[in-house]
Structure 1
């Protein structure tokens, strides 16, 4: 799993037990973006992974990936 962190850089994690939640505060301006990449390697046809981005507690983007190599990559741009 990788995500845009509180400093605007990228944090990459190895194998992460699910469900997983990460919270941080970051001051952002119009046009800044937040990206999360979550994937399942070697799953089954029935595997599913969902990623959501919340801004001030409100869900602004959510994606679900399905299948053997399921991935979900939600991207949210401030002001979108």
Structure 2
């Protein structure tokens, strides 16, 4: 997958049940020591999980379990 201009927002709709999990990976390649990437999961418009990664190959991997 190619580079995506930031900030980027993706929206999708899924029917999920209690105990199902959602994991998202956002990453930077070729950044600097000062690079930072943040990825958030919103459920019905409310932020339920957010992670931030820093560094040259920064990754942010929020994981949310429905009903947690």
User: 1:14, CA displacement in angstroms?
Assistant: 3.2
Higher relative contact order, chain-length normalized (CA < 8 Å, sep 6+) = 2
TM-score, length-normalised on structure 1? 0.81
**Matched residue of 1:51: which SS?**
strand
Alignment of 1:1-80 (within 5 A): 13-80=1-68
* Counterpart Cα distance in 1 of 2:27 and 2:64: 18
Segments of 5+ residues of structure 2 without an aligned counterpart are none
Root mean square deviation, CA, Å: 0.9
Count of equivalent residues: 68
| Runs of 4+ more than 4 Å apart | none
Relative to its length, the structure with more strand (as a share) is 1
